[in-house]
């Protein structure tokens, strides 16, 4: 992004690599003129956090800004506000930190706004036109070029690629339609079309976000900040803010600004000193509140300019291959607008309205006075860093990676939101994947009116980037919004007002009822119907006010959570099930204690000696009667409260029950499957146990048979073994045969198991593992015993077939000993 300084010579637009488009004459003119903010010097060199620390923090002396009024000149007074002596008039910027300012002393109203601070021409019809309430206002701005433009925007509000360029892209982009497609270097029509309605919405109590998105050097900063000839959205918006205040004599305002940047995924406070901002970056808390964040109270356009200049001085810009002064960070300028009705009542400095708590981060600073509500809204003006290709500079490439990642995340967040809105889904939105989306989360999730200006470079060489910007713009158009005004009310005063009105209405009703018989005689049938309708109306107004008292109390109880908007219609349904239950419990306790109180009061009344009907009412009696009345009234309110709570509670309970029934069914199914599996396991283990026992018995029988066999001297037809005539040794010896057998055990073992019905059993793997891990009984035999046995076997084998072939062992099926031996070796025991 580019901006020029009045302190430095304006930097000519000299890209390192020539841009494919030559700058237009307007482009050149805009570049040669100083910035409207007039002072912001952008750093041309890379600014890492460390180098930022070294940046001088002493603000340079500024020449006077061209406002018609001197700071020292006394402002016209707001009636009842002794502001002429206000210390605010003499404070310098650092003393305007909101935490050090008494908000009552920094109020702005139609009388204090300087005529020079307001927009000259105001189109009144635009003031209440906030654009489409539930859709994002999406506009395209095409940067002027003297080269051939690749895009055709001749049809209003649409843009498409010139036919001769469609083949240059892999997929032909379609014709795009947006709320506005703007061309040229004039910033005023751009402001009117894309920003003014949102600035007005912010002044009227809605959170509003305006952001510029686009490829590097496509004109985002030009659109938002502009220059002296062509002031951009930010300076024009600030003028409109003061114009709005000047045109609204019924309200008074407290304005506070903050200015941040997201650089390499860290949020820096541009209004804090660079050293403290680097040492303590801004964190986003769970409720979206930014801490620590410096907020400056502003009372005039001049003070807004000072804040902007200070922030601009700390911004990171650098020269890239495409933009001489490219923004290397996303910058967010926020104006918090608090307002309340002007009234006769004025807060004394430091006074706390009953029930009003000291300001919490993110909460309003203005106090609610005399039942007047305080509206709070935030206007955010965001200049995103430009998406870009890899650059020739290493540091730029690193920054570019962060920039592109956060823009990609913004793209995927917008994509998911659009998809959710289109298909009525609630898929997870990856806000947390980048600081930018985390910061924008409240706005993107529907809490704000949003206007997006997507800037494109129309050159042929930028077709791919421009198409990608247009696709982003198309997606964000689908995002659904639901911005609501945020109001906080002084419930004590409000309740008092309602109570008074109820009293009035009751008196009027009683009067009408008393006159009714006499009056009805005079009235025609039709008039009687009208009369009873009027009385009905009075009754329903009383009921309505009683309900309002109830809602105001709800609002009052919610004051602890300042971050939550406390609008009378929202409060009940915003609460979690737990909160609702807690409230219900507290209310029940309150009813109980009030019932006890009523009983005791009634008992006291009964215990009093009867008074003659004409006895004068003492003060005490009066008080008791009043209290009794209040208690009865409260009972009505609490009953209404319970009725109101009943529905949301039932809905919450149903939801929770539904969710948990599903989970319970799943758990039961899982448990049943587990039980079936365990039963099967037990069955298999039993079988295995039986098999083992059987095999053990067979082994014993075999051992007995072998020893009997030996004792009888039977050698399978060969010569009897005797000490005089020992058998011929087998080539390789018993050890070789042992090794062969061992190998055969491993190769044959599994197949036996696999043949069994245990193939599918959960114990199958264990058995196989055991078969490999545990030696067979034959292997466990002492060496001498084994040699003896093998000598016998090898003696037999030496007859037929040839030795050394393990298969031959199997072929001698006629030998029961060898058959059993083979079986024994292959089956693990
Ligand atoms: N509509 C326009 N009319 C005249 N000049 C323009 C226009 N748009 C952009 N420019 C000029 O083009 C240059 C680049 O614009 P700018 O700095 O606003 O781009 P950017 O999108 O903010 O870039 P980056 O993302 O790199 O910061 C500037 O010199 C600017 O004055």
Give the Å distance between the CA of 444 and the centre of ligand 1: 26
Q: Point out the least confidently predicted range of 215-224, 410-419, 431-440, 484-493.
A: 484-493
Does one domain contain both 288 and 400? yes
* CA 657 from centre of chain: 27
Residue 808 lies in domain? 713-826
CA distance 320 to 318: 6
pLDDT tens digits, one per residue of 607-619 = 666 655 566 666 6
Residue 247 lies in a domain: yes
What is the overall mean pLDDT for the chain? 69
Ligand 1 pocket list (CB less than 6 A)? 1-2, 13, 26-27, 30-31, 143-144, 185, 214, 216-222, 323, 326-327, 385-386, 455
Residue 278 and residue 239 share a domain: yes
Residue 352 maps to a domain = no
DSSP 364: -
Calpha distance 708→410 (Å, rounded)? 87
| CA 793 to ligand 1 center in whole angstroms | 97
Residues 149, 291 within the same domain: yes
Mean pLDDT check: name the lowest of 206-220, 735-749, 797-811.
797-811
Tell which one of 44, 221, 459 to mutate to probe ligand 1, the residue whose CB is within 8 A of the most ligand atoms: 221
Q: Is pLDDT larger for residue 28 or for residue 465?
A: 465
Instruction: Write down the number of H helices and E strands in the chain.
Output: 23, 18
Residue nearest to atom 28 of ligand 1 (CA): 2
- Taking Cα atoms as reference points, which of 36, 35, 54 lies closest to residue 45? 54
Closest CA to 304 of 215, 199, 218, 220: 199
Number of domains comprising the chain: 3
As a whole number, mean pLDDT of residues 683-711 equals 91
Q: What is the pLDDT of residue 774?
A: 46
Distance CA 169, CA 120 (A): 46
* Substitution site in 219, 391, 407 for ligand 1 pocket (most atoms within 8 Å of beta carbon): 219
* Listed residue (228, 194, 229, 196) closest to 212, CA to CA: 194
Q: Give the model confidence (pLDDT) of 519-531 as tens digits.
A: 777 778 888 788 8
What is the Å distance from ligand 1's center to 154 Cα? 23
Residues 403 and 550 in one domain: no
Give the nearest ligand 1 atom to 185 CA. Answer: 3
Angle between helices 233-246 and 301-314 (to 10 degrees): 160
Percentage, residues of the chain above pLDDT 70: 54
Q: How far is CA 483 from CA 202, 240, 363, 382, 798, in A?
A: 11, 21, 18, 18, 97
Lowest mean pLDDT among 445-459, 680-694, 723-737: 723-737
Distance 459 CA to ligand 1 centre (A): 14
Give the distance (Å) from ligand 1 centre to CA of residue 304.
23
How confident is the model at residue 58, as a pLDDT? 34
- Note whether residue 456 is domain-resident: yes
Residue 568 included in any domain: yes
For ligand 1, the distance from its centroid to the CA atom of residue 633, given in whole angstroms, is 65
- Per-residue pLDDT of 340-352, as tens digits, reads 887 654 444 333 3
Q: Would residue 367 count as lying in a domain?
A: yes
327 CA: nearest ligand 1 atom: 27
If asked whether residues 259 and 156 sit together in one domain, one would say yes
* 99 within 8 A of 334, measured Cβ to Cβ: no
Question: Which CATH number belongs to the domain containing residue 294 in this structure?
Answer: 3.40.850.10
**Which range in 195-199, 504-508, 577-581 is most confidently predicted, on average pLDDT?**
195-199
Pocket test for ligand 1, best of 25, 28, 30 (most atoms within 8 A of CB): 30
Helix (H) or strand (E) holding 678: helix 619-712
Closest atom of ligand 1 relative to the 223 alpha carbon: 18
Same domain for 728 and 659: no
Task: Calculate how far, in angstroms, residue 217's C-alpha sits from the geometric centre of ligand 1.
Answer: 5
Q: Which residue has the CA at smallest separation from atom 4 of ligand 1?
A: 27
Same domain assignment for residues 464 and 534:
no
C-alpha 2 – ligand 1 centre gap (Å): 6
Identify which has the larger pLDDT, 442 or 268: 268
- How far is the centre of ligand 1, averaged over its atoms, from the C-alpha of 83 (Å)? 43
Ligand 1 center–CA 218 separation, angstroms: 5
Half-sphere exposure of 451 (CA within 13 A, CB side): 31
User: Is-cis flag, bond preceding 801, omega within 30?
Assistant: yes
125 Cβ neighbours under 8 A, 6+ residues apart:
none
What is the C-alpha to C-alpha distance for residues 745 and 739, in angstroms, rounded to an integer? 10
Closest CA to 281 of 289, 477, 582, 290: 290
* Per-residue pLDDT band at 656 (split at 50, 70, 90): confident
Does the pLDDT value for residue 500 go beyond 80?
Answer: no
pLDDT at 534 over 60: yes
Phi-psi region of 377 (alpha: psi -120 to 50; beta: other; left: phi over 0): beta
If you take atom 31 of ligand 1, which residue's CA is the nearest one? 31
Shortest-distance Cα residue to atom 10 of ligand 1:
219
- Residues 775, 808, single domain; the answer is yes
Q: Are residues 136 and 183 in the same domain?
A: yes
d(CA 24, CA 183): 12
For 693-720, the DSSP string reads HHHHHHHHHHHHHHHHHHHHT--TTSPP
Q: Is 449 strand, coil or helix? A: strand
| Dihedral sign (CA 580, 581, 585, 588) | positive
CA distance 90 to 299: 12
Distance (Å, whole) CA 822 – CA 814: 13
CA 230 – ligand 1 centroid, Å: 12
- Within-domain flag for 306: yes
Pocket test for ligand 1, best of 141, 217, 320, 321 (most atoms within 8 A of CB): 217
Domain membership flag for residue 441? yes
With CA atoms as reference, report the closest residue to 332 among 282, 286, 387, 366: 282
For the CA of 384, the closest atom of ligand 1 is 25
Query: Are residue 233 and residue 172 in the same domain, yes or no?
Result: yes
Of 659 and 807, the one with more pLDDT: 659
Task: Check whether residue 542 and residue 440 sit in a common domain.
Answer: no
Ligand 1 center from residue 157 Cα (angstroms): 22
Nearest-CA residue for ligand 1 atom 9 is: 219
Please, what is the angle between helix 577-607 and helix 619-712, to 10°?
140
Residue 472 has pLDDT above 80, yes or no: yes
| The ligand 1 atom nearest the CA atom of 323 | 26
Residue 150 is assigned to a structural domain of this protein: yes
- pLDDT digit string (tens) for 146-196? 888 899 999 999 999 888 877 655 566 678 999 999 999 999 999 999 999
Domain boundary among 447, 476, 505: 476
The dihedral region occupied by 109, where left means phi > 0, alpha psi between -120 and 50, and beta the remainder, is: beta
Residues 637 and 752 in one domain: no
Is a pLDDT exceeding 90 seen at residue 95?
Answer: no
Kindly give, in sequence order, each residue whose CB lies less than 8 Å from that of residue 438, ignoring residues fewer than 6 positions away: 284, 431, 432
Closest-lying ligand 1 atom to the alpha carbon of residue 328: 27
Tally of residues, the chain: 829
Nearest CA to ligand 1 atom 14: 217
Ligand 1 centre from 607 Cα, in Å? Answer: 87
What ipTM was reported for this prediction?
A: 0.98
Q: What is the pLDDT of residues 619-640, one digit of tens each?
A: 667 777 777 777 776 776 666 6
Which atom of ligand 1 is least distant from the CA of 184?
A: 1
Expressed in angstroms and rounded, the spacing between residue 153 Cα and the centre of ligand 1 is 20
């Amino acid at each position: 992004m580019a901006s020029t300084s009045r302190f430095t010579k304006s930097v000519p637009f000299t890209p390192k690599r020539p841009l494919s488009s030559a700058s237009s004459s307007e482009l050149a003119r805009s570049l040669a003129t100083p910035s409207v903010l007039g002072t912001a010097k952008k750093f041309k060199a890379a600014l890492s956090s460390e180098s930022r620390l070294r940046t001088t923090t002493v603000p340079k002396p500024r020449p006077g800004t061209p406002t018609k009024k001197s700071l020292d000149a006394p402002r016209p007074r707001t009636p009842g506000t002794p502001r002429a002596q206000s210390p605010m008039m003499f404070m310098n910027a650092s003393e305007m930190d909101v935490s050090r300012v008494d908000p009552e002393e920094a109020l702005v109203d139609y009388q204090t706004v300087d005529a020079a601070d307001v927009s000259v021409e105001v189109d009144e019809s635009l003031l209440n036109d906030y654009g489409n309430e539930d859709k994002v206002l999406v506009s395209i701005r095409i940067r002027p070029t003297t080269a051939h433009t690749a895009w055709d925007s001749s049809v209003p509000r649409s843009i498409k690629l010139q036919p001769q360029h469609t083949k240059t892209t892999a997929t032909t982009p379609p014709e795009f339609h947006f709320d506005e497609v703007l061309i040229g270097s004039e910033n005023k029509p751009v402001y009117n079309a894309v920003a003014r309605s949102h600035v007005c919405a912010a002044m009227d109590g809605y959170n509003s976000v305006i952001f510029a998105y686009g490829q590097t050097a496509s004109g985002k900063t030009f659109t938002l900040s502009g220059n002296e000839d062509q002031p951009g959205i930010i300076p024009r918006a600030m003028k409109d803010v003061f114009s709005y205040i000047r045109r609204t004599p019924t309200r008074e305002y407290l304005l506070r600004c903050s200015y941040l940047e997201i650089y390499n995924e860290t949020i820096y406070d541009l209004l804090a000193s660079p050293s403290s901002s680097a040492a303590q970056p801004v964190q986003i808390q769970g409720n979206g509140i930014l801490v620590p964040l410096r907020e400056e109270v502003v009372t005039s356009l001049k003070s807004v300019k000072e804040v902007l200049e200070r922030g601009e001085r700390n911004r990171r810009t650098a020269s890239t291959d495409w933009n001489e002064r490219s923004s290397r960070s996303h910058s967010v300028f926020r104006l918090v607008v608090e307002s309340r009705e002007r009234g006769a009542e004025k807060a004394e400095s430091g006074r706390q309205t009953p029930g009003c708590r000291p300001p919490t981060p993110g909460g309003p600073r203005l106090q609610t006075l005399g039942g007047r509500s305080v509206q709070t809204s935030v206007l955010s003006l965001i200049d995103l860093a430009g998406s870009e290709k890899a650059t020739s500079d290493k540091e730029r490439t690193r920054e570019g990676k962060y920039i592109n990642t956060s823009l990609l995340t913004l793209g995927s967040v917008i994509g998911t939101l659009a998809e959710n809105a289109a298909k009525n889904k609630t898929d997870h939105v990856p806000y947390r994947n980048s600081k930018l989306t985390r910061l924008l989360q409240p706005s993107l999730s529907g809490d704000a009116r949003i206007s997006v200006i997507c800037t494109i470079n129309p050159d042929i060489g930028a077709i791919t980037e421009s198409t990608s910007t247009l696709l982003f713009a198309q997606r964000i158009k689908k995002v659904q919004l639901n911005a609501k005004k945020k109001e906080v009310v002084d419930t004590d005063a409000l309740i008092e007002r309602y109570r008074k009105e109820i009293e009035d209405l009751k008196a009027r009703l009683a009067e009408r009822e008393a006159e009714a018989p006499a009056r009805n005689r005079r009235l025609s049938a039709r008039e009687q119907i009208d009369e009873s309708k009027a009385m009905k109306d009075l009754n329903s107004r009383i009921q309505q006010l009683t309900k309002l008292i109830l809602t105001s109390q709800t609002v009052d109880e919610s004051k602890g959570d300042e971050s939550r908007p406390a609008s009378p219609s929202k409060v009940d349904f915003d609460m979690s099930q737990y909160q609702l239950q807690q409230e219900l419990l507290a209310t029940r306790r309150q009813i109980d204690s009030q019932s006890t109180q009523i009983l005791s009061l009634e008992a006291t009344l009964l215990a009093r000696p009867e008074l003659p009907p004409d006895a004068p009412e003492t003060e005490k009696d009066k008080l008791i009667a009043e209290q009794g009345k209040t208690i009865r009234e409260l009972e009505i309110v609490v009953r209404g409260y319970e009725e109101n709570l009943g529905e949301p509670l039932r809905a919450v309970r149903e939801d929770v029950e539904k969710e948990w029934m599903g989970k319970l069914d799943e758990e039961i199914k899982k448990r049943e499957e587990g039980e079936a599996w365990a039963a099967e396991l037990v069955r298999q283990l039993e079988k295995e146990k039986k098999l083992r026992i059987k095999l053990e018995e067979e082994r014993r029988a075999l051992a007995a048979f072998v020893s009997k066999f030996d004792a009888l001297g039977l050698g399978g037809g060969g010569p009897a073994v005797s000490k005089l005539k020992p058998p011929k040794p087998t080539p390789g010896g018993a050890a070789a045969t042992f090794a062969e057998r061992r190998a055969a055990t491993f190769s044959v073992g599994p197949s036996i198991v696999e043949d069994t019905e245990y193939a599918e059993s959960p114990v199958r793997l264990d058995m196989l593992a055991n078969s490999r891990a545990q030696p067979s009984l034959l292997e466990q035999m002492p060496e001498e015993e084994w040699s003896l046995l093998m000598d016998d076997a090898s003696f037999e084998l030496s007859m037929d077939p040839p030795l050394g072939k393990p298969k031959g062992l199997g072929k001698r099926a006629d030998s029961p000993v060898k058959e059993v031996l083979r079986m024994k070796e292959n089956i693990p025991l």
